[in-house]
């Protein structure tokens, strides 16, 4: 029986893992299909349900395609399901992908939607005036970041990473690392470097990881990251150079506030 599933490919319909060239409407058959149930990566055509879209980073410009699969199958849900036959039906428009992911999000115990479509705090409306409450939140975050461990802000990254992996599995942890932390951190850090003449990379990385904990409301983290989350949700990204703290906002990471705490 044929089943309808989904597959992520490069824009040119090649697989980003094997470089296999697909064609819409063309039936593909794996003549040396591996039906060994103990192997999760082997010969065959792979496809997933909506929840499996997390396995590959959509932020790299890849596209989602609807596929038909049938014949022999080896299932390692939700990410690694392989089939003997596969046919690409159509490209799924981004609006439809977002609707599918949003619906799936209701069934998850964490924020599946914003893991696939992460929010960059610097892309939120620019803050033009920092309030006393914002500075108090920054003081709270400075205290948490400092007490996170002996090694400073890098340890915040380790705390977040370890708990996410322990709670939701390494596959989800990898997705969060690639889609949220790496992608958002890279964009935020590049913008911040354009406005700060000193190194603040570790503190920005810690802020982004702390912000990512908002995706997992059911995980009890060792430290309270809510102060950093509130700042980021407002469009303010904290940075620290070892002496002064700053709050950045807007696509150019403009310094909105600077001082010592």
pLDDT at residue 125, as a whole number:
96
pLDDT digits (tens, 9 = 90+) for 207-242: 988 898 898 888 888 889 999 999 999 999 999 988
Mean pLDDT of the chain: 88
Look at residue 149 and tell me whether its pLDDT is greater than 70: no
Q: Which residue would you say has higher pLDDT here, 175 or 234?
A: 234
pLDDT value at residue 261: 86
CA dist., res. 4 & res. 12, Å (int): 21
Give the pLDDT band of residue 199 (cuts 50, 70, 90).
Answer: confident
Q: How does pLDDT run across 63-118, given as a tens digit for each residue?
A: 999 999 999 999 998 888 999 999 999 999 999 999 999 999 988 888 989 888 88
pTM: 0.82
List Cα–Cα distances, 172 to 63, 109, 111, 203, 231, in angstroms.
Answer: 20, 12, 11, 24, 25
Q: Give pLDDT, residue 110.
A: 86
Is the pLDDT at 23 greater than 90? The verdict is yes
Instruction: Say whether pLDDT at 45 is over 90.
Output: yes
Q: At what angle do helices 183-193 and 201-212 cross, to 10 degrees?
A: 140
Residues 6+ positions from 119 with CB-CB distance below 8 Å: 184
Say whether pLDDT at 152 is over 60. no
Task: State the average pLDDT over residues 37-50.
Answer: 94
Domain ranges of the chain: 3-104, 109-259
Pick 70 or 56 by higher pLDDT: 70
pLDDT at 183: 75
Kindly indicate the confidence band of residue 123, based on its pLDDT and cuts at 50, 70 and 90: very high
Phi-psi region of 71 (alpha: psi -120 to 50; beta: other; left: phi over 0): left
Q: Which among 142, 7, 125 has a CA at the least distance from the CA of 67?
A: 7
Note the pLDDT of residue 151.
40
Q: What average pLDDT does this structure show over 26-55?
A: 93
pLDDT for residue 85: 98
Higher pLDDT, 195 or 179: 195
């Amino acid at each position: 029986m044929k089943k309808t599933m989904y597959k992520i490919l490069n824009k040119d319909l090649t697989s980003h893992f094997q470089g296999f060239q697909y064609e819409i409407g063309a039936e593909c058959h794996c003549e040396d299909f591996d039906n060994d149930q103990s192997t999760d990566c082997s010969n065959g055509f792979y496809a997933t349900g909506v929840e499996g879209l997390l396995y590959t980073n959509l932020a790299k410009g890849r596209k989602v395609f609807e596929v038909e699969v049938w014949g022999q199958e080896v299932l390692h849900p939700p990410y690694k399901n392989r089939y003997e036959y596969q046919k690409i039906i159509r490209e799924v428009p981004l609006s439809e992908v977002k609707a599918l992911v949003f619906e799936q999000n209701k069934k998850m115990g964490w924020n599946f939607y914003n893991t696939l479509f992460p929010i960059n705090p610097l892309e939120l409306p620019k803050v033009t005036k920092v309030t006393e409450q914002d500075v108090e939140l920054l003081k709270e975050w400075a205290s948490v970041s400092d007490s996170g461990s002996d090694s400073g802000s890098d340890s915040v990254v380790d705390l977040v990473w370890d708990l996410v992996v322990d709670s939701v599995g390494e596959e989800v942890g990898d997705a969060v690392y690639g889609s949220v932390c790496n992608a958002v951190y890279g964009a935020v850090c590049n913008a911040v470097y354009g406005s700060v003449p000193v190194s603040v990379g570790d503190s920005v990385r810690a802020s982004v990881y702390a912000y990512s904990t908002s995706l997992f409301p059911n995980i009890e983290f060792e430290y309270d990251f809510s102060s950093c989350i509130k700042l980021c949700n407002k469009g303010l990204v904290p940075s620290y150079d070892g002496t002064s703290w700053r709050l950045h906002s807007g696509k150019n990471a403009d310094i909105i506030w600077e001082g010592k705490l």
